[in-house]
């Protein structure tokens, strides 16, 4: 019986490399495969799956409206498929995950999905959440944090390497925008960022208070000087 597989990990763990290796193993044995990747990811060119070690291959593109079951069924009818492989599977919709499950159940074609589990805020992607609930086999692709612990989180950074706390869930990037960390070291820069934001807000309030006090002192000095001047004028009359 064909199965739906979900191989998940953090950024830069070698997901695309493993996908391309699996596709090569099928083709080496004369078996036909169908590769898919998200249309939103154009880092290596539109419709290309590429790994950091130089492996790459052409792939079909899926968007939110793509009917994966219909596309795979049509291709399978033209030339029998031995496997369907999906890169960037976190960008799948709920319906598309069910469509891939139907590919495995109805067409008896194994489906291998590779993607991230969580985003830069530790929240599940739609595709990942549904694959975690629906896939027959779940496999974690492990990588390590700088401290040596297993990396499980994706930290988004800006051009200066500073942690980013807010933003859209989907922002395509590689090593320049994301760092794979363990949970402890994922939280630390965010806590530092939060403390810095609180201190900035506190200093702003202090500055505002200082401005108010300074304006009040100036007004009081002006009042006393004007008052004394008026009194002096009245005594001269």
C-alpha to C-alpha distance for 161 and 169, rounded to whole angstroms: 18
Measured from the Cβ of residue 182, the count of other Cβ atoms closer than 10 Å reads: 19
Is 88 tagged catalytic? yes
Query: Choosing from 56, 63, 88, 188, which is the catalytic residue?
Result: 88
What are the catalytic residues?
A: 88
């Amino acid at each position: 019986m064909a199965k739906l597989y979900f191989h998940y990990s953090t950024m830069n763990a070698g997901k695309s490399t493993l996908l391309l290796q699996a596709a090569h193993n099928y083709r080496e044995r004369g078996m036909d495969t169908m590769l898919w990747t998200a249309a939103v990811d154009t880092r290596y060119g539109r419709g290309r799956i590429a790994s950091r070690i130089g492996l790459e291959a052409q792939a079909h593109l899926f968007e939110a409206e793509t009917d994966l079951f219909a596309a795979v069924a049509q291709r399978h009818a033209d030339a029998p498929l031995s496997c369907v492989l999906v890169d960037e599977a976190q960008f799948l919709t709920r319906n598309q995950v069910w469509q891939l499950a139907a590919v495995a159940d109805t067409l008896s074609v194994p489906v291998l999905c590779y993607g991230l589990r969580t985003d830069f805020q530790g929240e599940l992607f739609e595709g990942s959440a549904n694959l975690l609930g629906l896939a027959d086999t779940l496999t974690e692709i492990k990588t390590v944090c700088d401290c040596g612990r297993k990396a499980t989180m994706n930290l988004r950074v800006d051009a200066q390497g500073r942690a980013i706390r807010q933003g859209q869930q989907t922002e395509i990037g590689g090593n320049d925008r994301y760092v794979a960390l363990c949970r402890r070291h994922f939280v630390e820069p965010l806590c530092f960022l939060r403390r810095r934001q609180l201190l900035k807000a506190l200093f702003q309030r202090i500055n505002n208070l200082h401005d108010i006090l300074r304006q009040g002192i100036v007004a009081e000095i002006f009042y006393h000087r004007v008052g004394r001047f008026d009194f002096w004028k009245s005594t001269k009359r």
